[in-house]
Structure 1
């Protein structure tokens, strides 16, 4: 998810060589994800892992990869990830929702991220192929994703803002992808004006949460590496991509400029977290 969205944001900013390189890495990581997921299905003792929010990264990761493929000029090929992502979403989302309780962590917002990742890919293909029949289903899922966000927000443990290990950033990232989904549906729809206002509103709230989370990180630094920090990189990249897309769709150059500014903290975070992941992997292999 994190690598894929940074790749897309770099493509939107015109940094093509880096975007292509990260897309290749995303595809390789997706293959690892497929192998892992198949292992969960085959191992009956691990079936409970199919009901935790983190499993929805399989949906979001597939959707992000599909968008990268579509935007690189292979829209027909991206139909395959759309079918896979939608099938996974139908299979996994009910299982995860049944297990959600009170005082939820940031990972619970993946119910929105997964839903909107399907919306973004469907709306992108509706515009590129074209396949306008996908526009209305995408709009319906967009509304469902926003409803799921409100549901999780009502149960979210806000102590995660200063205790979380990285996934608390999905609080903002799930709104950022919702804004991106709204912008993509706006671009595919014939009468976009109401959706433009929705895009502005959702992106505005996402940016507000972004600012709050930055302040919390400054007040309560958490410098140690944790795998959940990839869930911090994803919202940073997603907010940049959402702002650039919304700026282009709604003809607001300043919003596109903001997205380009926000891209570089996302790239820096990707490099830092990636270095931490490599260092941990090397230490684990030595031990």
Structure 2
């Protein structure tokens, strides 16, 4: 038991972005018809999710002070988003009962963690702070997905309320965001764009759930345009200020790459805009490549940490 505790001591909530990133790339692969690679990535994402859940449940039992310190950080919200993303994949593959269970778990975590994290946001905040928006919109995405798949209209109105709240939380963080992170951030600065991308996906999902509501169509178009603008800005910043060393926060770069692709793919289908669908397909492959690069970096980091001395 002591050996396991020592091995997991360096694990922080930031690593939850690995499950988020893996899950959203798996969804993207499914949307372009690559189901077997999608299933493989989903299995990896669930393994990461289960491993992290075990670590933090054990930490809750053995080291309450450390757990409390972790719970007030924005990274803690990756638990919510990862659960919702993996739940959305399950719904797309017809596992509605399990997806509902994932939604319940995520909703409970959201109710417990979000107020604590928002209450501890102080001063200029990093990109990870946008997870207050991401975690909220992830509930919208899964709820709206289930509203169509079951169908179950009882999910629709709570999802709309959460969607509006997610946008308000985005504005709150944007007002306090440290824009120097675009130059110095270690990877989680990409969540500034990822939060808008998941908001665009949430709007598209709600559009489908409400039978093509005109207001939601317009909101979806605006949010997709904003997500693409953020994507371009963040990409330029990566070229201008390269950050090539591995950092666990790089998983928070993979997630927005995959989410922007999925938002375009689903919006293109829902709004019947082929250009969005084509763009989503194009953007998926950089997300797959970056996922592979970050995964290799993570495996190397774990191997080095296991070496004696």
- The two structures have a TM-score, normalised by structure 2, of 0.91
Instruction: Report how far residue 76 of structure 1 moved.
Output: 2.2
Give, in whole Å, the separation in 2 of the partners of 1:191 and 1:9: 22
Alignment partners' CA distance in 2, 1:40 and 1:132: 38
- Which consecutive residues of structure 2, in runs of 5 or more, have no partner in the other structure? 1-19
2:182 is aligned with 1:149: no
Compute the displacement of 1:49 (Å). 1.2
Task: Give the match for residue 139 of structure 2.
Answer: 118
1:207 paired residue number? 228
Q: Counterpart in 2 of 1:44?
A: 64
Query: 4+ runs of 1 displaced by more than 4 Å?
Result: none
Shift of 1:191: 5.1
Deviations 1:36-88 (A, max 9, x none): 23134222221121110000000000001100111111122210000000000
Q: Distance in 1 between matches of 2:208 and 2:111?
A: 25
Superposition deviation, residue 154 in structure 1 = 0.2
Alpha-carbon distance in 2 for matches of 1:93, 1:78: 21
Conservation of the 8 A alpha-carbon contact between 1:8 and 1:68: yes
1:245 aligned partner: 266
* Map of 2:99 onto structure 1: 78
Partners in 2 of 1:228 and 1:102 — Cα distance? Answer: 21
Equivalent of 1:173 in 194, 216, 220: 194
Pairs aligned (count): 287
Deviates more, 1:221-230 or 1:71-80: 71-80
For the 8 Å contact 1:167–1:229, the answer to whether it is kept is: yes
Match of 1:197 in 2: 218
Corresponding residue for residue 122 of structure 2:
101
Q: Give the structure 2 partner of residue 18 of structure 1.
A: 37
Selected match of 1:57 from 56, 60, 78? 78
Deviation at 1:227, TM superposition (A): 0.6
Separation in 1, partners of 2:193, 2:72: 23
Is residue 2:307 matched to residue 1:286?
Answer: yes
Q: 1: distance between equivalents of 2:114 and 2:305?
A: 33
TM-score of the superposed pair, with normalisation by structure 1: 0.98
Q: Aligned to 1:70, what secondary structure does the other structure show?
A: helix
Runs of 5+ unmatched residues, structure 1: none
Q: Deviations over 1:111-158 (max 9, x none)?
A: 001000111000000000000111111011000000000000000000
How large is the RMSD of aligned CA atoms in angstroms? 0.9
- Residue 253 of structure 2 is matched in structure 1 by 232
The secondary structure found in structure 2 opposite 1:102 is coil
